[in-house]
Amino acid sequence: MILDILTKEDFESFKKELLEEIRDLAKTEGLRPRKLLKSYEVCEILGISYGTLRKMKENGILPATKLGGEFRFDYDEIQKLTKVIKEKHNSRP
């Protein structure tokens, strides 16, 4: 039985190569990474409290992704929501 030993440098090299391949694939496929915001960033952008953000998430108004035990919000979704809010605000007589 042959035993291969992987070093920390091996893992670092693999990680670097993998990330480069993912970036290259994203460029060729026309994909772009999603910018995910933390709750406090969304609250600052929208000018709302954390409780309001939680209710918006729970009611499906603002979709969230759970990463590492924390919810993250897609920047594009925040932009869409702010556009809708501005349009409704501007359409009032």
Q: DSSP letter at 33? A: P
Q: Tell me, what's the pLDDT at 24?
A: 80
Cβ–Cβ under 8 Å, residues 38 and 45: no
Cβ–Cβ under 8 Å, residues 36 and 74: yes
SS3 76: helix
74 or 33, higher pLDDT: 74
Residue where the block lists tokens 């992987």:
6
| CA–CA gap between residue 53 and residue 71 (Å, rounded) | 11
| CA–CA gap between residue 62 and residue 28 (Å, rounded) | 30
pLDDT digits (tens, 9 = 90+) for 12-66: 999 999 999 888 877 765 655 568 999 999 999 888 999 999 999 999 999 999 9
Q: What's the pLDDT band for 84 if we cut at 50, 70, 90? A: confident
Q: What is the pTM of this model?
A: 0.59
